Amino acid sequence: MRPLLLKGHERPLTQLKFNPEGDLLFTTAKDTRPTVWWASTGERLGTYDGHTGAVWSCDVFWDSTRLLTGSADNTARLWDVQTGRELFRWSLRSSVRSVGVAPGCRLMHLANSKLLGQESCIHLFRLKSDGNWQEQETEPFLVLRGHTATITGVVWYNTAEYMLSVSEDGTVRKWDVETGKEVDRAKRHKKAITDIKFSKDHQMFLTGSADGTAVLWDTHAMQEIRSFVLDRPLNAVDLSPLMPHAVVGGGQEASQVTTTAGKAGKFAATFLHLIYGEEIFSVKGHFGPINCLSFTPDGRGFASGGEDGYVRLHHFDEEYYRRSSEI
Amino acid sequence: MSLRVATVEPTTSEDAWDETENDSPDAVASLGRALTTQLDKGGGGLPPPRVSEPDADGIVTIVDYYVNDEGYVVQRTRRVRRRLERRRVCAAVAERRRCWRKFGVAATENANTTTQANEDIPIEWNTRNTEVSDDEESGEAVPSLGAAPSSASGGGGGGSGSGEDLMTNKSIVVCRICGRVGDHWTLRCPYKGLQGAADGLGLPGSAASTAPDGILGATGAVGAPSAGSGGSMAASATSSGATRYVPPSMRSGASARLREGDSLYGRREENSIRISNLTEGATEDDLRQLLEPFGRVVRIYLARDKYTGAPKGFAFAAFAERSAAERCIAKLNGFGYDHLILSVEWARPSGDRANAASSVNPGA
């Protein structure tokens, strides 16, 4: 593979998101500029200028017209994807760590960090998607409290009935969106959970943790199906929509990185086979820990964003399909 | 007037989605080498960009000018090959691709923010599978990369993993490589890489159950004669009954062999072969598969076009042993591969080739 290297960010990447068709790639980093790229050529399409702090998270609407970003400047902003114009701004009392739009685009969530004496909780807002986008409700209609440390990831179930959140306290919690109650909770990781991703059909999800384990869960039973033990803290996970594969990535924490770690292969994106429970292959390239990973929506490639400020966009060679079928 | 030349790395060719678009030079991702020449500082208006007609290879040369961060006018020469690639996409995607214009920082940038990796990033397939199963059986707590299968019911942990159950029942687990039933998954087959060799050496397929000891014993035997100079690693490996694969670098006498490795570069020249009349679709991987049954392949070089990266139809390969190369030439010269007939011969050093050419010319 000859990956495309997207060097638009000056600071470590925080999140990657493909739009549903897979032709646009949205990236956020600890600089103030969320960026959108053409996924086929890696060409930079535009930047969303306005944030004054690190941008932690983004989500794109199903029709790729609006983008939601959350930043350490304590705001979340709504953007027009095509022009880069800011449409609306929500303010919280600490940095916005995770944002997301529910399927259907009627609801959205913002999760804030446990900082400045604030509790880390999920704020649910109604979105007015019919008319004027610039008039949104500034107050949440529900606040989901319970996590004892910063929430690092929130995903919506595909019917928007409930949502799952993971946190640095090591728990996965399931929330009922109607009532705002925590309906289930599971703790399997010993350290902070750093990422959560649903499988394409939402029947399983994968979590990755700083303790070096990745766990595949049954969504409804909230029970572990399989666990993978790796030799490094994990920052990012994703599940392939095409193959029974998962990709995980991470590396030593930025403050502890030594010059030998790169050679030791700790910064590689590692692919796991969900059925055999084996590590199948790895792809190297980053000079620092991997912070975010995402398969393309068709599963024919993946993107990785690193602490080194690069996004590497891979399109799988024919070899991937051939050897995967031989396994 | 200061003159500075910088080389910009070649990047990908554009996947144009529509014939009508990408007429402006800045929308074109450049392919090939671009030279940036720094001209006089300041100055009036910028000269207009020049775009040449496509040459024989379809490469267009674009010369344009811009003012860089230091206030210099920079002349930029790019050689670009435009390739039209038609793809069927959904209407929304096509609409976006056709109508959306760059905005924000992207609208004004000059430098290439996107490049393509110069070298091929290989998928590094994991091959260490046999050890894992051994350790699981003996109950050692090994922080292996593989997963410990756990029961979904949550109550039962321990060793009652689903995979193990299947194996003891001897029902459905048949290795597609060596044909053993109930011993291991195909993924974990210890002969995974040896298939070609096994075919070539005529290992009895039916007596596969005895084969593993034979092969693994052989690796132990290789290590044993030179024992004595080896480190403690190697000693422990041989004493553990030679049931496990020991990588060459850890076998006894490895250090001596590594010292030989220095001269490997010089030696392999004479064991090199040249394979020509390859198909365009052949990859290094295919070649390795083709050659490995003859012996250990030290190096494979597949000649590629500088711009397109497409194989040129010939390759060089070097074997560790000359006898292997001899066998390979004898067998593969005239061998039908894909739809072409291979021509395999000893590779001549480049100096010889030049001499040969000059000696031919006067005669002609």
Residue B32 falls in which region: left (phi positive, over 0), alpha (psi -120 to 50) or beta = left
Q: Which of B105, B117, B153 sits opposite A47 (nearest CB)?
A: B105
- Radius of gyration in angstroms for the set of CA atoms belonging to chain B, rounded to a whole number: 29
B93 touches chain A (CB under 8 A): yes
B283 to A48: CB separation less than 8 angstroms, yes or no: no
User: What is the total residue count of chain A?
Assistant: 327
Helix ranges (H only) for chain A are 318-326
Distance from CA of A301 to the nearest CA of B (A): 12
pLDDT band at A110 (very low <50, low <70, confident <90, very high): very high
More confident residue, A216 or B222: A216
Give the residue-averaged pLDDT of A13-37.
92
A46 to B107: CB separation less than 8 angstroms, yes or no: yes
So what's the pLDDT on residue B82?
A: 74
Share of chain A above pLDDT 70, in %: 96
Which of A102, A105, A72 lies closest to A175, judged by CA? Answer: A102
| Weakest-pLDDT range from A112-121, B158-167, B254-263 | B158-167
- Here the ipTM equals 0.72
A21 to B92: CB separation less than 8 angstroms, yes or no: yes
Distance from CA of A218 to the nearest CA of B (A): 9
Per-chain mean pLDDT for chain B: 63
| Weakest-pLDDT range from B24-28, B44-48, B160-164 | B24-28
Which residues of B fall within a CB distance of 8 Å from A283? 121, 123-124
Which residues of A fall within a CB distance of 8 Å from B102? 44-46
B280 touches chain A (CB under 8 A): no
Tokens describing residue B134: 């051994």
- Alpha-carbon distance of B161 to B170, in angstroms, equals 15
> Is the confidence at residue B235, as pLDDT, over 60?
no
B110 touches chain A (CB under 8 A): no
So what's the pLDDT on residue A259?
A: 54
Which residues of B fall within a CB distance of 8 Å from A8? 105-106, 113
Closest-CA residue of A relative to B17 is: A40
| Touching A: B residues 20-49, CB under 8 Å | 29
Q: Which of A3, A44, A231 sits opposite B106 (nearest CB)?
A: A44
So what's the pLDDT on residue B352?
A: 52
| Cβ count within 10 A of residue B107 | 14
Distance from CA of A92 to the nearest CA of B (A): 26
> Is the confidence at residue B29, as pLDDT, over 70?
no
Cβ atoms A319, B285 nearer than 8 A: yes
Closest-CA residue of A relative to B281 is: A318
| Touching B: A residues 220-249, CB under 8 Å | 221, 223-231
- Alpha-carbon distance of B40 to B342, in angstroms, equals 56
Q: Which of A7, A226, A229 sits opposite B113 (nearest CB)?
A: A7
> Is the confidence at residue B296, as pLDDT, over 80?
yes
So what's the pLDDT on residue B139?
A: 38
- Alpha-carbon distance of A4 to B115, in angstroms, equals 6
Could you give all domains of chain A from N- to C-terminal order, each with its CATH number? 12-326 (2.130.10.10)
Give the residue-averaged pLDDT of B73-77.
81
Sheet holding A13-18, edge to edge: A13-18, A24-29, A35-38, A44-47
Cβ atoms A224, A217 nearer than 8 A: yes
So what's the pLDDT on residue A173?
A: 92
Which residues of A fall within a CB distance of 8 Å from B149? 226, 277
Q: Which of B104, B123, B145 sits opposite A319 (nearest CB)?
A: B123
A5 touches chain B (CB under 8 A): yes
Which residues of B fall within a CB distance of 8 Å from A232? none
| Touching A: B residues 134-153, CB under 8 Å | 143-150, 152-153
pLDDT, one tens digit per residue, over A39-77 is 888 888 999 999 999 999 999 998 888 999 999 999 999
B186 to A33: CB separation less than 8 angstroms, yes or no: no
Which residues of B fall within a CB distance of 8 Å from A41? 12, 14-15, 29, 114
Q: Which long-range contacts (CB under 8 A, 24 or more apart) does A122-125 make?
A: A122/A151, A122/A154, A122/A163, A122/A165, A122/A175, A123/A92, A124/A177, A124/A180, A125/A90
Give the residue-averaged pLDDT of A227-256.
86
- Alpha-carbon distance of A100 to B317, in angstroms, equals 53
Which residues of A fall within a CB distance of 8 Å from B107? 46
Distance from CA of A317 to the nearest CA of B (A): 9
Angle (CA) B304 B305 B307, round 5°: 135
- Radius of gyration in angstroms for the set of CA atoms belonging to chain A, rounded to a whole number: 18
Distance from CA of B158 to the nearest CA of A (A): 13
> Is the confidence at residue B359, as pLDDT, over 80?
no
In the numeric block, the tokens 């070899």 are attached to A319
| Touching B: A residues 67-86, CB under 8 Å | 82-84
Distance from CA of B289 to the nearest CA of A (A): 13
Q: Testing the interface with B: which of A206, A278, A298, A319 to mutate, by most B Cβ within 10 A?
A: A278
Which of A260, A252, A258 lies closest to A234, judged by CA? Answer: A252
Give the residue-averaged pLDDT of B113-127.
79
Could you give all domains of chain B from N- to C-terminal order, each with its CATH number? 1-22+48-106 (no CATH), 267-346 (3.30.70.330)
Could you tell me the pTM of the whole model?
Answer: 0.61
| Weakest-pLDDT range from A108-122, A142-156, B99-113 | B99-113
B119 touches chain A (CB under 8 A): yes
Q: Which of A5, A226, A284 sits opposite B147 (nearest CB)?
A: A226
